[in-house]
Chain A
Amino acid sequence: MKHYIWTISFLLVFINGWSHPITDTVKVNQVLIVIKSDEPKKLNALYISNFLKSNYTSLSDLLTNASTISFKNYGAGGSSTISFRGTNANHTKVLWNGLSIGSSMLGLLDFSTIPTNSSDKIEIQYGAASAEYGSAAMGGVILLNTNNPFENKSNKISFSQTYASTDAAISQLNVKFGKEKIRSIFTLNYLNNQNHYRFSNYTQFNNPKQNQINAEVKSGGIIHQLYYQINSRSLFTLHSWYQESDRNIGPPIFNRNQTAYQLDHSLRNIASYSTIKNSFHRYKWTLGHNREYIRYVNRIKAGSTNLELLNSKSTFDAINFEFAYARNFVRRNEQINLSSIYEGASIADYGKYQYRFRNSLAINEEFILKSNWTIDFINRYEYALRKNLFASQISFNKKNLLNKDIAIGLGMSKNYNLPSLNDLYWQPGGNPSLLAEQGFEIDLNLKYKKNSDLISLNTYYGTIKNWILWQPAAIENGIWTPQNLRQVNIYGLELIATMNRKLGEFYFQTNYNFSINHAINSKSMSSNDQSFGKQLIYVPINKSSLMLKLSRRNTWFQYSFNYNGFRYTSSDNKQFLPTYLLHDIAFGQLFLHQDNQYQILFRVENIGNKNIESIPYRPLPGRVFSINLQLYLNN
């Protein structure tokens, strides 16, 4: 109940108090606060604003606190997987400068290993978009993109250093430099988090307070991006990213003698060449490679000895070649994409090296009609796993509705998701005859945008058939096998509001996210199946978050809350993890010296010091204090 009051008071105060929306760029006593008014072309897409992004160092923390998307967080040192619009972790596609960075072996991406400084711009596309992005884009798409450095040619260094009370040190460095025709971006990230915090262990007598153990995380990465302007019509780019993480995964509190260790190496390389001919023909060739190496060891301490329960190593490689052609007419835009993907994985559990080829063709036609209407058709054909797969999408959009600031869009799409290599080839149980999951979705989007204010409301209804579920093949032999068993209906809405106001010397920025996501199991396995008609596990029906920043001259105060509704943990919806509401506060001060900026920030997360879990028996930290220093050096 409390969180409604917070929401009400903040929203109402805003709406009533300051009726003068600020224009795109304001100067508050010399501090240039740039409110970028640029927005994605699509109605169902949004950028994460910089004032949100600068508060978080990992993508999972950022999206948990500043979007409608929910995450399953496996506790200290554990992975963090996405659930977008009630779908599974394998139903969201994540692209870094156009390259898919999830592993098709596991079918997912661990968002805790993605630092926020790996991209300049984070775009969230709500809803299914297989026709445009191919397999896996069932819940939505997250685009991590670098800004074209030729658009802002100044040389810059930005550095951020954070220390947190869990004994964590996080460093992020970005260097942008270059000349007229060639520019480079270097990015480094380093994290060392000992995950020292206390929690009450409610699985033991008298709820003893215990220290988190064996949950130390170290990770580091280097990114180099090169942009070469060959001539006024042609651009060559090279993106390379190596990320490593070396971590102990904290034990479940019911057995603190379990230790798990994971080592991840990720290498992503993209080379692309794009050119424009005859002013309206655009061509782009891209070659990408993504490698994910994971070593996982699980041990148990019995008396004085450590016994190994599991020790696995896996390497996944994807090589992606893509050709895109686009041309723009006055009232028509056309794009053709051809792509060939090779995916291969090596792990002892497969018995042998397994690989697959995927070839696809996508055609996009957009018609710009009268009175601000546009119609967009996208069709994709993919040949994979000896099957023909089709995805298509049609959307109708109208801008300048009623007054000039509202746009409305209606979209319908048919989508698919290929089984992961583990689903197909894992031994025992892997099922090579699995079919792709098939989805259908209808989306209605409404967007109000005026100056720097934005309100976006999306509603959706969808169904996913042939949903892959691992179940025992025959109960008594203990072997589980994936089958196209389930059908899931999803429906819900998302509301995202950003408002900025100026009152005298005060400047307010706010971002509010709210979502309802129903994901209902719509196929009964048997007459005794009590999961029929029930919400999928770990999908919160309600989620909301608010961030409010109040600045005066070079000083600011920030408050945010993150409300995460209860999540069922059993398919019959009899067991659940309770709702939690966390409050964070921060104070910051900015110092200016010539063209350079220095910033210091103090922050308290989870000020109520609540015990929370995203997965049962995997406690997350209570109250955490942190200090952050940032410097921005120009030229």
Chain B
Amino acid sequence: MKIKLRIVAILAICLQACTDEPTPTPIDPNLAFDKGVFIINEGNFGVGNASIDFYQRDSNRLIKNVFETVNGRPLGDVAQSMTIFKNKGYIVLNGSAKVEVINAKTFKSEASINGFSSPRCFLGINETRGFVADWVSNSVKEINLKTNTIVASISVGEGPEALILVDSFLYVANSGGYINDSTISIININTNQVVKNIIVGDAPIAFALDANNDIWVLCRGDYKDFGLKEDDTKGALVKLNKHSQSIATKIMIGVQGDHPDKLAITNDKLNLLINTAIDGANNGIYKVSINDNAMPMSPFVAGYFYGIGIDPLDDKIYAADPLDFSQDGLMWRYNSNSGVLIDSIRVGKVPNGIHLQ
């Protein structure tokens, strides 16, 4: 019997040794971040696996997870956006309720700005002033960029999602948060007062500024009861006249339940790219001229995308594909004139956008 027991023991030991832990990727100490594309991977909500990848155009090389690689600590939960302003990068982390400030050349962490509820995007004004839209607290926070602290809070509508600055007016898209909103709040940044609220359409979520300096607002439309398409409101593309601060054009998008959600503008500022479904299907990126009065019938690029962006240097469209949301996603690249697929890059988890350096 002893022999039998010994066999079992030896068997157990052999079996135990059979699976090795994967080895982590080694760190390259000489990383430099110029001339490239930062890819924002928001990661899974509540899981804390957001990351930024850096794509070097010249060498066609992708450096993954640069924040953690350089700083030796994870970036945080849900990277909503990244903005480079005055040689500093502002990475806005919605789930971690913070903004990470990094040196844009070295990616070395310089500060973490705390005190938000769920920040969505950053907009820099000058050396000392910046603004962050804070979704749950229904406010826009002013940041002192010298001290990296919140210095003021301006109440706006429900769920502020996007910001754009035109002259000395900060336009805030009130996306609706947990309820619904259909307004843009306009803040005079000299007084930090809301000077006007404009009704544009249900759930305004993104801005673009065109060649004529007109402001475009993408409205997602309201879901109301999530289970019912019939009570949804339609999405819309709205042009605002910056002088009168009122609606100049409004193009309705698709049918109830389509819900456009991403907006980008081509480098010549003449065409808008909108990520949406049309008529409950035909998902993809639609191209609309700033002079059009209607949506095109078919997508410029077909597919399901989680984010879109355009490279200002080579004009390529980047379209984010999170696949199953649990594995590394893809960034598809398309020619912005023809809509033809060029290639794809395997990026981090749940990519949602790009920022250019």
Contacts and interface: CB of A to CB of B under 8 A. Distances in A.
Contacts of A457: 8
Interface string A578-618: 11000000000000000000000000000000000000110
A428 B12 CA distance: 47
Given A307-B137, A514-B12, A476 B276 contact: yes
Given A15-B5, A529-B327, A4 B18 contact: no
A529 B323 contact: yes
Interface in A233-253: 252
A256 B260 CA distance: 34
Contacts of A474: 277, 283, 304
B15 A493 contact: yes
A203 B73 contact: yes
Contact of B49 (A15, A475, A575): A575
Interface string A554-579: 00000000010110011111111011
A541 B17 CA distance: 11
B117 A455 contact: no
Interface string B1-31: 1101110110111011111011000000000
Interface stretch (A5-13, A156-164, A165-173, A280-288): A5-13
Contacts of B89: none
Interface stretch (A223-231, A298-306, A627-635): A298-306
Nearest to A304: B115
B48 interface: yes
Interface in B63-108: 73-74, 76-77, 95-98
B189 interface: no
A30 interface: no
A4 B10 CA distance: 10
Interface stretch (B220-228, B240-248, B333-341): B220-228
B322 interface: yes
Given A255-B97, A302-B97, A305-B137, A616 B48 contact: yes
A202 B75 CA distance: 11
Contact of B226 (A11, A429, A579, A617): A429
Contact of A307 (B136, B283, B344, B349): B136
Contacts of B261: 476-478
Given A307-B117, A477-B261, A529-B327, A512 B12 contact: yes
B315 interface: no
Interface in A464-504: 469, 471-472, 474-479, 493, 495, 497, 499
Given A351-B227, A474-B277, A571 B324 contact: yes
B312 interface: no
A134 B324 CA distance: 30
Interface in B184-232: 223, 225-227
Given A8-B13, A579-B21, A300 B328 contact: no
A428 B223 contact: yes
Contact of A254 (B6, B95, B326): B95
B47 A572 contact: no
Contacts of B171: none
B274 to A, nearest CB: 10
A269 interface: no
B226 A428 contact: yes
A525 interface: yes
Given A203-B76, A351-B225, A541-B19, A302 B116 contact: yes
A495 B8 contact: yes
Instruction: Name, among B15, B98, B276, the residue most crowded by chain A CB atoms within 10 Å (CB to CB).
Output: B15
Contacts of A429: 226
A414 to B, nearest CB: 28
B117 A476 contact: no
A526 B326 contact: no
A252 B46 contact: yes
Instruction: Name, among B1, B17, B227, B324, the residue most crowded by chain A CB atoms within 10 Å (CB to CB).
Output: B324
B357 to A, nearest CB: 24
Contacts of B114: 257
Contacts of A255: 76-77, 95-98
B330 interface: yes
A526 B323 contact: yes
Contacts of B322: 472, 475
A578 B21 contact: yes
Nearest to A258: B97
Contacts of B21: 565-566, 576, 578-579
Contacts of B304: 472, 474-476
B330 A476 contact: no
Contact of A525 (B5, B276, B324): B324
A29 interface: no
B174 interface: no
B276 A530 contact: no
A479 B327 contact: no
Nearest to A540: B19
Name the prevailing secondary structure of the B interface residues: loop
Interface residues of B, number: 68
Interface string B252-282: 0000000111100000000000011100000
Contacts of A307: 117, 136-137
A205 B109 contact: yes
A300 B95 CA distance: 10
Contacts of B326: 531, 537, 570-572
A309 interface: yes
A3 interface: yes
A575 B1 CA distance: 44
Instruction: Name, among A257, A427, A479, A579, the residue most crowded by chain B CB atoms within 10 Å (CB to CB).
Output: A257
A512 B304 CA distance: 50
Contact of A15 (B2, B47, B97, B306): B2
A206 to B, nearest CB: 9
A205 B98 CA distance: 14
Contacts of B321: 475, 528
Nearest to A455: B8
A298 to B, nearest CB: 10
B150 interface: yes
Contacts of B324: 469, 471, 525, 529, 531, 571
A452 B93 CA distance: 57
Contact of A252 (B9, B77, B98): B77
B76 A254 contact: yes
B318 interface: no
A297 to B, nearest CB: 14
Contacts of A576: 21-22
A509 B32 CA distance: 60
A43 interface: no
Contacts of B283: 474, 476
Given A302-B116, A428-B227, A472-B325, A565 B9 contact: no
A428 to B, nearest CB: 3
B131 interface: no
Contacts of B96: 254-255
Nearest to A525: B324
A455 B4 CA distance: 10
Contact of B305 (A8, A14, A476, A572): A476
A143 B46 CA distance: 33
A44 interface: no
B47 to A, nearest CB: 7
B330 A7 contact: no
Closest 3 CB pairs of A and B: A428-B226, A572-B327, A302-B117
9 contacts: A202-B73, A254-B96, A303-B153, A472-B325, A476-B276, A537-B326, A541-B19, A575-B49, A616-B49
Interface of B: 1-2, 4-6, 8-9, 11-13, 15-19, 21-22, 46-49, 73-74, 76-77, 95-98, 109, 112, 114-118, 134, 136-137, 150, 153, 223, 225-227, 259-262, 275-277, 283, 304-306, 321-328, 330, 344, 346, 349
Given A15-B5, A15-B6, 17 more contacts: A7-B12, A14-B5, A203-B74, A254-B48, A300-B136, A303-B153, A448-B4, A469-B324, A476-B261, A477-B261, A479-B226, A493-B15, A541-B19, A566-B21, A574-B327, A575-B49, A616-B48
